[in-house]
């Protein structure tokens, strides 16, 4: 066997090993109930902001403390604490991807991704708004 083939095999084996170890460090997308059932484990949770509950954030007092409530499709809910600035479009988002772990009585969040309604729907809303505002001058 040529040296270059040995190198090839070794490098390919190394790449596969890297990918397997990557899968081992990978986490999971979980529901709120499952996240709560494994406290301390890092998970991704897809949920929606509960707008009936207060969003605790006062940038004047502490810009690095945000507390809010979310619920998911199963109806389960928990409180989330995020030690960072409040994501600007959080109230408008229709979905939040929360990354963190459930601890004690809340979800300690390291990162939030906000998913806004798609641009297309936005357009619809804007068009409707515009249309509504233009009705005044039109009789037919």
Partner 1 sequence: MDYIGEHRLPGQLGHFFLVLSLVASLVAAFAYFKSAHKDMHPDAPYWKRLGRIAFLIEVFSVFAIFGILFYIISNHLFEYKYAWQHSSRSLEVKYLLACFWEGQEGSFLLWSVWHCVLGLFLLTRKKEWEAPVMSVLSFVQFCLATMIAGIYIFGWKMGSNPFILLRDSGVLDSAPALHLDFDVSKAFRPDYMLSIKDGNDLNPLLQNYWMVIHPPVLFMGFASTTIPFAFTIAGLWKKKFGEWVSDTLPWALFCGAVLGVGIMMGGMWAYESLTFGGYWAWDPVENASLVPWMVMIAGIHTLLVYKHTGYSLRATHLFFILSFALILYSTFLTRSGILGESSVHAFTDEGMNWQLIAFMSVFVLPALGLFFKRYSEIPAIRKEEATSSREFWMFIGSLVFFLSAIVIIAKTSLPVFNKIFGSHIAPPENPEYAYNQIQVFVAIILGTLTAIGQYLKYKQTTSGFFWKKIGIPTLIAAVAATLILVFGDVNYKKETYGFMIAIWGAVVAAVYAIIANASYLWLGIKGKLKIAGGSIAHIGFGMVLLGILISSSKKEILSNNIEGAPVAVGPNEDPRDNLTLFEGIPSKMGQYTLTYESDSQHPKKELWFYNIRFKRNDGKEEFMLQPNAFVNYKGREGLMANPSAKHYWDHDVFTYITFLPNPAAEKDTAKFNTSIAKAGDTIFYSKGFIILDTVTSQSNLPEEIFGKDGSLQQAVLKVHAKTGSLYTISPKMARAKGETVALPDTLTAEGVIFQLQNVHRDNTIELGVKESAALSKFITLKAYKFPFILLLWLGVIVTATGMLMSMFQRITQQRTKKQAGA
Rounded to the nearest whole angstrom, what is the least distance from the CB of residue 52 to partner 1 in the complex?
19
Near partner 1 by CB under 8 A, which window of 21-29, 47-55, 72-80? 21-29
Q: Please tell me whether residue 106 binds partner 1 under the rule CB under 8 A.
A: no
Sorted by sequence, the CB contacts under 8 Å of residue 39 that are 6+ apart come out as 101, 102, 103, 104
**Nearest to residue 35, comparing CAs of 94, 95, 106?**
106
Three-state DSSP at 129 gives: helix
With respect to partner 1, which residue has the nearer C-beta, 78 or 96?
Answer: 96
Rounded to the nearest whole angstrom, what is the least distance from the CB of residue 31 to partner 1 in the complex?
10
The size of the interface with partner 1 (CB under 8 A), counted in residues, is 60
For residue 43, list its beta bridge partners.
100
């Amino acid at each position: 066997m040529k040296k270059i083939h040995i190198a090839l095999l070794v490098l390919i084996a190394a790449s596969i090993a890297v990918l397997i170890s990557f899968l081992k460090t990978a986490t999971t997308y979980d529901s709120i109930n499952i996240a709560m059932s494994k406290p301390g484990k890092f998970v991704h949770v897809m949920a929606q902001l509960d707008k009936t509950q207060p969003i605790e954030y006062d940038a004047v007092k502490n810009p690095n403390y945000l507390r809010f409530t979310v619920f998911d499709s199963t109806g389960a809910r928990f409180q989330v604490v995020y030690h960072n600035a409040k994501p600007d479009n959080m109230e408008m988002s229709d979905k939040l991807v929360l990354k963190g772990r459930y601890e004690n009585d809340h979800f300690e969040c390291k990162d939030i991704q906000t998913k806004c309604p798609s641009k297309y729907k936005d357009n619809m809303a804007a068009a409707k708004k515009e249309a509504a505002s233009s009705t005044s001058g039109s009789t037919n």
